[in-house]
Chains A and B, each alone.
Chain A
Amino acid sequence: MIGRVLLLSVALCALASGSRAQTANTCLDCHGALDPPLQVTEAQFAQDIHAQKGLTCASCHGGDPTKADMGAMSKAAGFRGKIERSQIPALCGRCHSDATLMKQYNPGLRTDQFSQYETSVHGKLLAKGDSKVAVCIDCHGVHDLRPPSDPRSKVYPVNVAATCARCHADAAYMKPYGIPTNQFAEYQTSVHHAAMTVRGDLSAPTCTTCHGNHGAAPPGVDSVKNVCANCHVFQAQMYEKSPHKEAFQSAGLPGCVVCHSNHGIAHPTDAKLGTGQQGVCVQCHTTGDDGDRGRANILAGLTKLDESIKSADRLLNVAETSGMEVSEARLQQDQARDSLTKARVTIHTIEPQLVDQDIQAGLKITAKDLQAGKDALSERGYRRKGLGIAVIFILITLMGLFLYIRQIEGRREAEVHEL
């Protein structure tokens, strides 16, 4: 049976061999007409960056790409057939770790991917014989491999999380490893995911930003804050000097993650400082202790500034809809909002006095803006007074007209013919 299939395939290939591409690659003549998993079409392979650089199937699989018959797959020509998963990283590394070779193609490419991979959880497990872990082709694709800067690449920043999730969100697949599989779901709710997909900020963190890509491993508990500190510099510096650092370290708690979570990082609200379900301080601190009192202090200050900004905004809105000019005050309101943002960053010092400094700066600005709103409304009052005066003059004139008409038409006539 197999023999008949093979014979048929060869016959088909012989028929199908038409004009060949630039670099002789007869493999695609047959494999383009086969069914998956053996199928690799011309169209597919043309997308591959390796094909575009002049490589052929034989570059990885061996064999002779110039032969149009089964001689292409002869052992004598070095044909390797399907590459074992455990062999794949080393195979890719044969070129990609060779700096001299890579310089001929793309001098800007790094050549440490394989050595990084060997330090990763994937690499270590693969060395122990586990072939379920990710190897190069799982993330980068194979036969239509695109560079990471191509939006259709599986490792284009926007696509990275979905690529990792192919395994890491599959509970059945991940069962033997005993780690959670909800990271992708959580990440999709996060503010980092929104930054990338909604705001289009490609520099926003995705899985590889914190875990590494080739050397993928979770950062250690003590290193988490270093990872976050790469972008969130101020918060990290403040945290370092705060009492929380010692406390968390000695308790083996993972720094920033304690309050902000690791994958489902939501936009923090003042509710985090509250006593409700979202409150983080109350998870450790008991009501009435120093920490709790400080929390209440900070929350009160933030709420005060927030309210102050809103009430100034409301007044300015009223003034503006009455036609008053309040653009300067509106601009200052932005500065006040900046103060509030700064205050919220200063929380990480855990020093209520420092937070209060920013709050007071903001309150000074909102007080001025509130005054501007009041001034605008008093200008409105001035307009209405002006109107009142004009109306009075108009009434006087009307009275004068009325009396004049009566006068020239004679009193008697005016009484009889009221018009």
Chain B
Amino acid sequence: MTTDDFPQIRPARRRLVEVLLGGGVLASVVSFLYPVLKYLVPPVVPDLGEDEVVAAKVGDLKPNSSKIFRFGSRPALLLLTAEGEYHAVSAVCTHLGCTVQYRSDLHEIWCACHNGTYGLDGRNISGPPPRPLESFQVNVRANEIVVTRTRGA
């Protein structure tokens, strides 16, 4: 049965129903497809798992400066020495958890809370910190600076 079997129904009425149905189906299908299509587009920050993160782009950092970035759910420190070497360590001080910083005057990593100092490789040098900072591998890929955590020994 189609609408043709019921000629007594006014054409205008038929048009209305057709428009309602067709329009409704179209609109609802679009409202379903829109999220699906957006979903397919990879997000700006591709997920590289918890072991790898793009910390910065080449040129973001000036020599003898640093940047705090997020690694997993904890802060980490990326620094570029005056000689052009990249280092990356966990920024969570091993003493009581404050966020450490790079001291461009001392060329060392320093914790403002209780004056702990670490070398550029994370080794605890002086002050209260009992353990070194976890250090990460840094690689430059194209123009991205990729920081990796090596899991397991």
Contact = CB atoms under 8 A, between A and B. Distances in A.
Direct contact of A and B (CB under 8 A): yes
Interface of A: 199, 201-203, 231-234, 327-328, 330-331, 334-335, 338, 341-342, 345, 389-390, 393-394, 396-401, 403-404, 407-410
Given A338-B98, A338-B113, A389-B31, A408 B24 contact: no
B77 to A, nearest CB: 12
Contacts, number: 86
B143 interface: no
Interface in B32-84: 32, 70, 73, 75
B140 interface: no
Interface in B80-132: 96, 98-99, 112-115, 127-128, 130
Nearest to B24: A397
A404 B28 contact: no
B113 A399 contact: no
B147 to A, nearest CB: 15
5 contacts: A232-B114, A331-B75, A400-B24, A404-B21, A407-B9
A338 B110 CA distance: 14
A338 B113 CA distance: 8
Given A327-B73, A335-B99, A399-B24, A342 B113 contact: yes
Q: Which size bracket describes the interface of B in this complex?
A: 35 or more
Given A396-B20, A400-B22, 11 more contacts: A202-B130, A231-B127, A331-B75, A335-B99, A338-B113, A341-B113, A396-B27, A399-B20, A400-B20, A400-B25, A401-B21
Interface in B4-32: 5-6, 9, 13-14, 16-18, 20-25, 27-28, 30-32
Given A393-B24, A396-B27, A403-B20, A342 B112 contact: yes
B128 A203 contact: yes
B150 interface: no
B113 A394 contact: no
Contacts of A409: 1
Given A338-B99, A342-B112, A407-B3, A394 B28 contact: yes
A408 B20 contact: no
Contacts of A231: 114, 127-128
B24 A390 contact: no
Interface of B: 1-3, 5-6, 9, 13-14, 16-18, 20-25, 27-28, 30-32, 70, 73, 75, 96, 98-99, 112-115, 127-128, 130
Contact of B70 (A201, A233, A328, A397): A328
B38 to A, nearest CB: 11
Contacts of B22: 400
B139 to A, nearest CB: 23
A201 B94 CA distance: 10
B115 A234 contact: yes
A407 B99 contact: no
A408 B23 contact: no
B112 A393 contact: no
Nearest to B43: A325
B28 A390 contact: yes
A285 B31 CA distance: 69
A201 B28 contact: no
A204 B17 CA distance: 81
Greatest chain A CB density within 10 A among B22, B28, B70, B98 is at: B28
Contacts of B2: 408
Contacts of A408: 1-3, 5-6
Given A231-B114, A407-B17, A397 B25 contact: yes
A410 B2 CA distance: 10
B130 A410 contact: no
A408 B14 CA distance: 10
A393 B14 CA distance: 20
A391 to B, nearest CB: 9
Contacts of B13: 407
Closest 8 CB pairs of A and B: A400-B21, A397-B24, A400-B20, A396-B24, A393-B28, A393-B27, A390-B31, A400-B24
B115 A233 contact: yes
Given A233-B114, A233-B115, A401-B21, A396 B70 contact: no
B24 to A, nearest CB: 3
B115 A407 contact: no
Contact of B31 (A232, A233, A331, A393): A393
